[in-house]
Structure 1
Amino acid sequence: MYDLTGFQRDLLYVTSGLDEPHGLAIKDELEEYYEKDIHHGRLYPNLDTLVDKGLVEKGEADRRTNVYSTTRRGTRETEARRDWEEQYVEGLFSE
């Protein structure tokens, strides 16, 4: 996880959180968060990087639609990252 870009981490989080993570659904979520267009030339190469690193699996829903799912390793690394973040921000949001 430490060697991912912020965008790749966001891709992993969104892929983990969606019920049916396919390319356009992931793209829509990120565009809403970033409040700007995410181009295919940025999205799909970064998804492929997550696949190459063993954090995400890529499959086919049909001939035109790829689906993505977080691997066990991806889930473990996402949880470890959240635990690490929590130690630094846990007191920021309490009253």
Structure 2
Amino acid sequence: MFELTGFQRDLLYVIAGADRPSGQQIKESISDDVGEVNHGRLYPNLDTLVESGFVDKGQHDRRTNFYQLSEAGQEAIVERRKWEDRYVAFDE
């Protein structure tokens, strides 16, 4: 996952937390946290995640696509969190 940008990693987490979200739903969700995200930024990054095998893309209907984590995407998040925990471990 180190080859991804921070924005692409954030998209993975947003997709992981939703049930087959559309691009518009992803845009609204991530915009709540990072500020307005335009289509020109969102969709090329989603395409990169699909092309890299972290995300699967399907169709809700003829006009609306959905996105979901692939098995590789799920594994990447688990491995990323393990890596982060090696460096950032707080006692709760």
Shorter-chain TM range is: over 0.9
Amino acid corresponding to residue 59 of structure 2 in structure 1: E
Q: How does 1:1-95 map to 2 (within 5 A)?
A: 1-34=1-34, 36-91=35-90, 94=92
Task: Give the structure-1-normalised TM-score.
Answer: 0.91
Cα drift, residue 17 of structure 1: 1.1
Between 71-80 and 20-29, report the one with greater CA deviation. Answer: 20-29
Cα drift, residue 20 of structure 1: 3.1
Aligned residues: 92
Task: Give the structure-2-normalised TM-score.
Answer: 0.94
Deviation above 6 Å: which 4+ runs of structure 1? Answer: none
In structure 2, what is the Cα distance between the partners aligned to 1:37 and 1:28? Answer: 8
Gaps of 5+ in 2: none
In structure 1, what is the Cα distance between the partners aligned to 2:22 and 2:82? Answer: 27
Cα drift, residue 90 of structure 1: 1.6
Between 36-45 and 15-24, report the one with greater CA deviation. Answer: 15-24
Once the two structures are superposed, residues 23-60 of structure 1 have per-residue CA deviations (whole angstroms, 9 ceiling, x without a partner) of: 111111110111x2100000000000000000001111
